[in-house]
Structure 1
Amino acid sequence: MSLDLSDNGDPIRLLGISDRPLSVDQVFSAVGDAAAGGVALFVGAVRDHDGGRRVTALEYSAHPTAERELRRVAQEVAARYPVRALAAVHRVGELVVGDLAVVVAVSCPHRAEAFEACRRLIDDLKAEVPIWKRQTFVDGEQGWVGVE
């Protein structure tokens, strides 16, 4: 898996799926823009429970088309909102409680636009990019999330 750091006038500055720990600083830095008055950042972390059950382990898997779909989602958000810069990275592999699973950020001229664009970015990423989560619960049972 790779990370794409773009700096060619494209508002999509950082995009990727990685098997390495994610950096909030890297994502935040990627969306810096002198014309942006608002930056919204979302960080998704692995929690110790789901649906009232304790989670002991978690693994994310991505379809080979995941990076292409992530780019499509990012392009749609950039086209819909006055995005100055956008970044989104998702982790795959085995994670533990507290690890960062996803970090997205958007900068726009104003805060309301940045909040709306960031919310759309994370919601569409979770709904449309083929990344699946397998959880192991304290009783040893396993369950997939995002597989339909």
Structure 2
Amino acid sequence: MGAMSHPHHPGELAAPDPVRLLAVRDTPLSLDEVFAAVGDDAAGGTALFVGTVRDHDGGADVAGLGYSAHPSAEAELRRVAQKVVDDFPVRALAAVHRVGELAVGDLAVVVAVSCPHRAEAFAACRRLIDDLKSEVPIWKHQNFADGTEEWVGA
């Protein structure tokens, strides 16, 4: 079989439905689940971002926190994901955010994007997490070690 000449290799284009996994859930998140969801033979680069609960914020020790989501959160997550797919040659995309009570070290959010090349995978992943944080209605309620508390993003 001879090589066929195409103006674009199929792998350079977005997949037919690259949004593979979107969820807002109250159960622990899995890096393996998200990474497996964005597996694609035409992707040369996969970028994965993990947001964890840190032990401090603004100089105060964090004891734990809770995430709450508006009922529209998954629909807004889909809208954000679709914008990323529209703007980048995404082969596969996944995003999951935890709600409920979390401890320091727990995974709060995991997003991943596979693209033909690494530069666009990094850029698409950054856009996905930045837009998720700024546009999806999920709010953080932090409990500090000194007994004080604070709502973030509400």
TM-score, length-scaled by structure 2: 0.89
Output one character per residue of 1:6-65: Cα deviation in whole Å (capped at 9) or x when no partner: xx9410000000100000000000000000000000000000000110001200000000
1:73 and 2:75 matched:
no
Matches of 1:96 and 1:59, distance apart in 2: 9
Alignment counterpart, residue 35 of structure 2, candidates 23, 28, 31: 28
Q: Percent identity?
A: 75
**Of 71, 75, 92, which aligns to 1:85?**
92
- Equivalent residues in 2 for 1:67-146 (5 A)? 67-146=74-153
Q: Does the residue aligned with 1:90 lie in a helix, a strand or coil? A: strand
CA distance in 2, matches of 1:9, 1:15: 16
Moved over 6 A (4+): none
- Can you give the 5+ residue segments of structure 2 that lack an aligned partner in the other structure? 1-14
Would you say how many aligned residue pairs link Structure 1 and Structure 2? 140
Spell out the pairing of 1:5-24 with structure 2 (5 A cutoff): 9-24=16-31
In structure 1, runs of 5+ residues without a counterpart are 1-7
Letter in 2 for 1:116: A
Q: Which residue of 1 aligns with 2:10?
A: none
**SS of residue paired to 2:39:** coil
- Secondary structure of the structure 2 residue equivalent to 1:78: helix
Larger radius of gyration: 2
